[in-house]
Structure 1
Amino acid sequence: MDAGSLSASNANHSRCPLQEQHLQRKQSRENLDRFIPNRSAMDFDYAHYMVTEGRKGKENPSFSSPSREAYQKRLAETFNMNRTRILAFKNKPPAPVELIPKEFFSSVSHDKPVKARRHIPQTSERTLDAPDLVDDYYLNLLDWGSGNVLAIALGNTVYLWNATDGSTSELVTVDDEVGPVTSVSWAPDGRHIAIGLNNSEIQLWDSTANRQLRTLRGGHRMRVGSLAWNNHILTTGGMDGKILNNDVRIRDHIVENYRGHDQEVCGLKWSLSGQQLASGGNDNVLHIWDRSMASSNSATQWLHRLEEHTSAVKALAWCPFQGNLLATGGGAGDRNIKFWNTHTGACLNSVDTGSQVCALLWNKNERELLSSHGFSQNQLTLWKYPSMVKMGELNGHTSRVLFMAQSPDGCTVASAAADETLRFWNVFGTPEVAKPAPKSSVTEPFAHLNRIR
């Protein structure tokens, strides 16, 4: 057999009949006297297979004795060589060891009680008669001082109701020539009170001594319907559109004036920092004034003039947890509560309440806002801020709820309505009293040293 015939034979067969080629070579080798190798006719893949694998069980059957197989099996078991995947789990992995027992977590969770959902009462806690309450949207006839005394103006008379013992007293009754009373506002000390009158005057009273201290004249030409204190500065707003800062300590009390409203100023509120003043008027305009821009020689320029409301802006409330956030409410033609960034003048949100917004109060303990309304439901509405989802509606008044005031602890709200009733609502709940931290039994390091050098 020559090389050409062997190559042709190899080309005519597929890869499967390699065993047949090997048999032919064995038979041809018996008939030849010598062997001349031809590498071009060799199949090296097949040769490698026969050297490494092909002879294991077939060419050496004598080595596969029963004793040898038993030995190989025992050896494989000893060295764990019978596993097809070295890193494969035969069984489930063992459970991790718990460094901290579950009982510890259960005891900790029981120690911290879950905060219960606050109950919002739908009815008033107390109702008082308020005869001769003037039904005028633009006035401010109710205020609750830091001394826990509520002041309300009924016609020509200012009454004081002591929330501590429930007693009522009459502070002053003005003459018909100067009355009726158009506004009341407690000073920060809870003792002195300012009273605005229909004849453009403002009286200052000492409620403890029950005596009048002075009368502020000459600033306004018409009734004074809004008042706001900033320490010793009493800011007054009148039907003449003027806003005046009065220093009650000096004879010439008018120290600054703000010009910007064309009609009656019906809302005045200083921010908690005392740096910004918000004013709302019957001209549908909201102004933000900055204390640092005030001038005694000329009218002060406003910081922001905001005209988004379409009706009178009386309801004003500065947020207790965000100093530059102001909530405002519009009258019957607007019905919206708007939120403002007073630093930039941007309107952050606007919510249509469906009725006249008469007053606004923030909850001092939670992120909530309370609004009082006029026609048609004459209700108080509690809102969750900032989602402005209604949390509850308080009904009981039969006419528009003109005024609201908040107790010093922030829990109780008093509302006065045109139905000549004064109602008290425990709408904001009881404030949480901070519990003192328990003393630890573990001694802190360096507890015996006052300082470390």
Structure 2
Amino acid sequence: MMNAGSETVSATKTPSHHPPLKHQSLKRKSSRENLDRFIPNRSAMDFDYAHYMLTGGKKGKENPVASSLAREAYRKLLAESLNMNRTRILAFRNKPPTPMDTVSSDWSSVQPLELVKARRYIPQTSERTLDAPDIQDDYYLNLLDWGSSNVIAIALVNTVYLWDAATGDASELVTVDANIGPVTSVKWAPGGRHISVGLNNSEVQLWDHTTTRLLRTLRGCHRTRVGSLDWNAHIITTGGMDGRIVNNDVRIRSHIVETYSGHNQEVCGLKWSASGRQLASGGNDNLLHIWDSSMASVNSRTEWLHRLEDHTAAVKALAWCPFQANLLASGGGGSDRCIKFWNTHTGSCLNSVDTGSQVCALLWSTHERELLSSHGFTRNQLTLWKYPSMVKMAELTGHTSRVLFMTQSPNGCTVATAAGDETLRLWNVFGSPEVAAKAATVKPVPGPFAHLNSIR
């Protein structure tokens, strides 16, 4: 007998009617020939199935008809529970590992874990609706901002109100005199302690909200109202109805350090990129400009990097993409209605989407590739888009007038909107993923906020 795994056999006894055999080796005929035995693996065998297949289900003398019906029923039961599609009774390898309970038994529908992601629930209504009495219904102003210290600022005619979202406390920051008001723009500085307030008389006030103290008033920047503001470190950039854009260094006495000239009508949108290298400005002249802070100025006047003329209405809505540094989204007014995407390195328009209504504001999600737009006539809705496909994920309604102002919480989850219907609404539109919760440096918005009427 040949030993399993051996490659040679010795003859120890020779029959008498054959000539003696010399000691020789028996070689395999082919390298593919397998001389090992297959030994059944009992631990992997199904004995109920094997018994049925070998006996046919016969047990003694039974009624042939009843026996046949019983065997058929038994066969169907086994087919369901024991997988009767098999043909082998003996098993020669170990059982496969038992799948986890959390994995579907329908393997055709199972996808790799990195591809499986539950669809996020997007509430269709606002979490809270607050009064914003006498808010100015003016497309060109910027009256709402949410600072990094988790405090919301909103301007109602001549007064700026603050709401601390962590504690729920409400306060009045400042009420300006009627001869210099109304307030036309508000913008928090980095750090969330200082806030700039643009006024109808062309001045800009700088406030410390922790002490409710006026730190400084910037004069001489503009000839008319200051409708747009944005910060770049210690530089506060102001945009006026006179079409001028001015960089003001708040550390020095002579604060005007640079002027950008390109718009011939009111500047209603200003946004610095995250790097602080590029500034986007939109105006009532339908123009969008990209300015590069590294470009040399001549006589304190800097030429634009790109002059973009594709919009056919005022450009107020501007938003720099958080995951692609040179990507800018812009939105046009009532006769344009488009969201356009720009490569600000080359100045090329990457895509244009007709939204069907006036685009008032734009916000990117900080943890998903999504863009939120707020609109005016005729539905006054918020629209959540998937980027870059620009498929609509949700449309949120509730405001009864155009949604002019929109801002985002520091943790990126909640959005606050204010509209001409004199309401301020909070929306949980971007969800509350774990990554956003861990990255947040401030507490999430608790409820309820103090009612606006309670602090008037």
TM-score after normalising by structure 1: 0.73
Confirm or deny: 8 A CA contact 1:140 1:225 kept in the other structure.
yes
Task: Identify which of 400, 404, 407 aligns with 2:406.
Answer: 404
Q: Distance in 2 between matches of 1:254 and 1:95?
A: 86
Q: Determine the structure 2 residue equivalent to 1:154.
A: 156
Matches within 5 A, 1:89-100: none
The unaligned stretches of length 5 or more in structure 1 are: 1-78, 437-453
Q: Distance in 2 between matches of 1:296 and 1:420?
A: 45
Q: Determine the structure 2 residue equivalent to 1:189.
A: 191
The AA in structure 2 aligned to 1:380 is: L
Q: Determine the structure 1 residue equivalent to 2:431.
A: 429
Q: Determine the structure 1 residue equivalent to 2:373.
A: 371
Q: Alpha-carbon deviation of 1:297? A: 2.8
Matches within 5 A, 1:231-270: 231-270=233-272
Q: Determine the structure 2 residue equivalent to 1:63.
A: none
Q: Determine the structure 2 residue equivalent to 1:215.
A: 217
Q: Determine the structure 2 residue equivalent to 1:327.
A: 329
Confirm or deny: 8 A CA contact 2:257 2:300 kept in the other structure.
no
Confirm or deny: 8 A CA contact 1:256 1:294 kept in the other structure.
no
Secondary structure of 1:329's match? strand
* Rg larger for: 1
Residue 117 in structure 1 maps to residue 119 in structure 2: yes
Confirm or deny: 8 A CA contact 1:317 1:327 kept in the other structure.
yes
Q: Distance in 1 between matches of 2:91 and 2:363?
A: 57
CA gap 1:284/1:407 in 2 versus in 1, 3 angstroms: same
Q: Distance in 2 between matches of 1:203 and 1:435?
A: 34
Secondary structure of 2:302's match? coil
Secondary structure of 1:226's match? strand
Q: Distance in 2 between matches of 1:419 and 1:276?
A: 35
Once the two structures are superposed, what CA deviation does each residue of 1:364-406 show, in whole Å capped at 9, x if it has no partner?
Answer: 0100000000011000000000000000011000000000000
Residue 128 in structure 1 maps to residue 122 in structure 2: no
Confirm or deny: 8 A CA contact 1:286 1:313 kept in the other structure.
yes
Q: Distance in 2 between matches of 1:255 and 1:303?
A: 19
Q: Determine the structure 1 residue equivalent to 2:179.
A: 177
Residue 380 in structure 1 maps to residue 374 in structure 2: no
Q: Distance in 1 between matches of 2:195 and 2:174?
A: 11
The AA in structure 1 aligned to 2:254 is: D
More helix by share: 1
Q: Among the aligned pairs, what percent are the same residue?
A: 75
Once the two structures are superposed, what CA deviation does each residue of 1:46-78 show, in whole Å capped at 9, x if it has no partner?
Answer: xxxxxxxxxxxxxxxxxxxxxxxxxxxxxxxxx
Once the two structures are superposed, what CA deviation does each residue of 1:267-305 show, in whole Å capped at 9, x if it has no partner?
Answer: 000001110000000000000000101527331010000
Q: Distance in 1 between matches of 2:232 and 2:98?
A: 53
Secondary structure of 1:244's match? strand
Q: Distance in 1 between matches of 2:177 and 2:337?
A: 36
The unaligned stretches of length 5 or more in structure 2 are: 1-26, 34-86, 105-111, 439-456
Q: Distance in 1 between matches of 2:348 and 2:103?
A: 44
Q: Distance in 1 between matches of 2:437 and 2:186?
A: 37
Q: Distance in 2 between matches of 1:383 and 1:428?
A: 11
Confirm or deny: 8 A CA contact 1:402 1:416 kept in the other structure.
yes
Q: Determine the structure 2 residue equivalent to 1:318.
A: 320
Secondary structure of 2:294's match? helix
Residue 103 in structure 1 maps to residue 97 in structure 2: yes
Q: Distance in 1 between matches of 2:288 and 2:436?
A: 38
Q: Alpha-carbon deviation of 1:115? A: 3.1
Once the two structures are superposed, what CA deviation does each residue of 1:196-245 show, in whole Å capped at 9, x if it has no partner?
Answer: 00000000000000010000001110100000000000000000000000
CA gap 1:346/1:254 in 2 versus in 1, 3 angstroms: same
Q: Alpha-carbon deviation of 1:139? A: 0.3
Greater displacement, 109-118 / 255-264 = 109-118
Confirm or deny: 8 A CA contact 1:237 1:243 kept in the other structure.
yes
Q: Determine the structure 2 residue equivalent to 1:443.
A: none
CA gap 1:435/1:386 in 2 versus in 1, 3 angstroms: closer
Once the two structures are superposed, what CA deviation does each residue of 1:21-58 show, in whole Å capped at 9, x if it has no partner?
Answer: xxxxxxxxxxxxxxxxxxxxxxxxxxxxxxxxxxxxxx
Residue 230 in structure 1 maps to residue 224 in structure 2: no
TM-score after normalising by structure 2: 0.72
Q: Alpha-carbon deviation of 1:167? A: 1.8
Q: Distance in 2 between matches of 1:341 and 1:416?
A: 30
Residue 415 in structure 1 maps to residue 409 in structure 2: no
Confirm or deny: 8 A CA contact 2:413 2:436 kept in the other structure.
no
Q: Alpha-carbon deviation of 1:116? A: 2.1
Confirm or deny: 8 A CA contact 2:235 2:248 kept in the other structure.
yes
Once the two structures are superposed, what CA deviation does each residue of 1:386-434 show, in whole Å capped at 9, x if it has no partner?
Answer: 0000000110000000000000000000000000000000000002249
Q: Distance in 1 between matches of 2:96 and 2:350?
A: 47
Q: Determine the structure 1 residue equivalent to 2:20.
A: none
Q: Alpha-carbon deviation of 1:103? A: 2.1
Confirm or deny: 8 A CA contact 1:257 1:296 kept in the other structure.
no
Residue 200 in structure 1 maps to residue 194 in structure 2: no
CA gap 1:250/1:104 in 2 versus in 1, 3 angstroms: farther
Residue 275 in structure 1 maps to residue 277 in structure 2: yes
Q: Distance in 1 between matches of 2:359 and 2:196?
A: 25
CA gap 1:277/1:294 in 2 versus in 1, 3 angstroms: farther
Q: Alpha-carbon deviation of 1:349? A: 0.3
Q: Determine the structure 1 residue equivalent to 2:143.
A: 141
The AA in structure 2 aligned to 1:302 is: W
Q: Distance in 1 between matches of 2:388 and 2:143?
A: 29
CA gap 1:105/1:356 in 2 versus in 1, 3 angstroms: same
CA gap 1:354/1:175 in 2 versus in 1, 3 angstroms: same
Q: Alpha-carbon deviation of 1:112? A: 6.0
Greater displacement, 377-386 / 162-171 = 162-171
